[in-house]
């Protein structure tokens, strides 16, 4: 059960995890709950580049996209405390990961292959790393194998499934409180 007490995060909270894990939906609700702005790093990258992510991949390739992504996330972390949803590959880039781990609180939204496949089958968002692959489940299984050992380096892990978003938001909120209490017991977030 989520505590009713409100606490203000001392640093930006960054959601990481696979495409389809719910980073944007959970992030928006978590930001409202914490009383801070929500920022979608992918949308910021598109705005900075003046083109869609699919176009950036197509015209410049993944490496250029990752460089731009790292710069945009660094700039966002310089700004006021907020909740940030990152694209699924951001935390895989060592430079971006170190930025996030040192300057923010990282939260991995962990989802099963079944949950991700069910969500992504319904999604219309173009996803360059999946759209060219033949079978969605095969592509996802490969990415899960590659990425889960790295996502595990996030400071907090919260399980997310097929159900409604609100209980996941509660779990992230509670996990943040515990994390901050452990980090600084004297400034206990619980009232």
User: Is 81 one of the binding residues for ligand S3P (CB under 6 A)?
Assistant: no
How many residues interact with ligand S3P (rule CB under 6 A)?
A: 9
> How far is C-alpha 141 from the chain's CA centre?
19
Segment contacting ligand S3P by CB under 6 A, of 73-81, 94-102, 127-135, 171-179: 127-135
Nearer to ligand S3P, 142 or 190 (CB): 142
Contact pick of 2, 36, 74, 129 for ligand S3P (by CB under 6 A) = 129
Q: Do the beta carbons of residue 19 and residue 88 sit within 8 Å? A: yes
User: Is 111 one of the binding residues for ligand S3P (CB under 6 A)?
Assistant: no
Contact pick of 29, 97, 110, 127 for ligand S3P (by CB under 6 A) = 127
Which of 22, 140, 136 is closest to 86 using CA atoms? 22
Nearer to ligand S3P, 90 or 105 (CB): 90
Nearer to ligand S3P, 128 or 181 (CB): 128
User: Is 89 one of the binding residues for ligand S3P (CB under 6 A)?
Assistant: yes
User: Is 46 one of the binding residues for ligand S3P (CB under 6 A)?
Assistant: no
User: Is 88 one of the binding residues for ligand S3P (CB under 6 A)?
Assistant: yes
Label residue 136 exposed, middle or buried (CB < 10 Å: 0-12, 13-18, 19+): middle
For ligand S3P, the binding residues in 51-80 under the rule CB under 6 A are 53
């Amino acid at each position: 059960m989520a505590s009713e007490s409100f606490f203000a995060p001392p640093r930006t909270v960054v959601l990481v995890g696979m495409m389809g894990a719910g980073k944007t939906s959970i992030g928006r609700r978590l930001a409202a709950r914490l009383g801070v702005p929500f920022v979608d790093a992918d949308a910021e990258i598109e705005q900075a580049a003046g083109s869609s992510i699919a176009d950036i991949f197509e015209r410049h390739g993944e490496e250029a996209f990752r460089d731009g992504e790292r710069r945009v996330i660094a700039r966002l972390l310089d700004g006021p405390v907020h909740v940030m949803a990152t694209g699924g590959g951001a935390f895989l880039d060592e430079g971006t990961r170190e930025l996030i781990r040192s300057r923010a609180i990282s939260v991995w939204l962990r989802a099963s292959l079944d949950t991700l496949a069910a969500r992504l089958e319904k999604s219309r968002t173009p996803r360059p790393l999946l759209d060219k692959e033949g079978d969605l489940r095969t592509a996802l299984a490969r990415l899960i194998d590659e990425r889960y050992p790295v996502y595990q380096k996030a400071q907090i892990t919260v399980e997310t499934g097929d159900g409604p978003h609100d209980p996941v938001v509660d779990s992230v909120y509670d996990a943040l409180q515990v994390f901050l209490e452990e980090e600084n017991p004297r400034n206990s977030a619980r009232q």
